[in-house]
Homo-oligomer: A and B are copies of this chain.
């Protein structure tokens, strides 16, 4: 029932070595981190952390995708973050979790016991600086998302989400075609709705509309082809390039 613990592997071979909170660490620092780290795997759909629970670890997503959500008492749900490989989970210096974290796909986490991590961070500027940098990036992303949530139409919201996912895929894939893009949606329609502040019916309708208008092509429910990225960005209401091309 419980997710298995995978065997430790070497930080040098870690797929997120150069992007996670440990990105700036030298080999000595890495050794210290290694001493307090352990891996843990969560099955798709399983909660990783529940809002309000006290957390005894922080850590990085090594592989897979997880969501950060907030809910109201009556069940209304808003996603407030999407966690991808290298993203950091948990807040040093705070005990209780502020959000629900749920594995969307199978997720492997590199966990650090919280106390030792905090102590290590206090004497290791490389870690603290990297964490600051990552937090500032997340803050920017959250603020960009506030514009989407507050001011964009349903159609623009969907286009915004698709372009963000496409951009992210592009950053992993070595520079390929900028015009045509192909990717798999890592989210259900309901998760997309929770991300965008819509209902799943509206998400479905707008996906169909974008397909009908030739902005996207769909194979099955999840496999998306964007024939013209510029067109998608226009639909998202961003400037024609959005810092994406050129």
Instruction: Give A contacts to B, CB under 8 Å.
Output: 68, 70, 72-74, 76-78, 80-81, 91, 93, 98-99, 122, 125, 128-129, 131-133, 135-136, 138-140, 142-147, 149-152, 196-197, 237-239
Verify B239–A78 contact, CB threshold 8 A. no
The chain B residue with its CB closest to the CB of A142 is B142
- By a CB distance below 8 angstroms, the chain B residues around A93 are 133
Among residues of B, the one whose C-beta sits closest to the C-beta of A236 is B72
Closest to A68 in B: B143
> A129: which of B91, B128, B143 is its contact (CB, 8 Å)?
B128
Q: How far is the CA of A8 from the CA of B128 in the complex (A)?
A: 31
Give the residue of B91, B99, B122, B140 whose beta carbon is less than 8 angstroms from that of A98: B140
For the complex of A and B, 4 pairs with smallest distance between CB atoms? A150-B197, A80-B143, A149-B149, A142-B142
- Of all chain B residues, the one with the shortest Cβ separation from A71 is B147
Question: Is the beta-carbon distance between B133 and A136 smaller than 8 angstroms?
Answer: no
A74 to B146, CA, bound (A): 17
Q: Is the CB of A197 within 8 A of B133?
A: no
- Which B residues are CB-close (under 8 A) to A80? 143, 146-147
Complex Cα–Cα for A144 and B71 (A): 10
Contact A146 B146 (CB under 8 A): yes
B143 near A132: Cβ-Cβ < 8 Å: no
What residue of chain B has the Cβ atom nearest to residue A195's Cβ? B150
What are the residues of chain B within 8 A of A91 when measuring CB–CB? Answer: 136
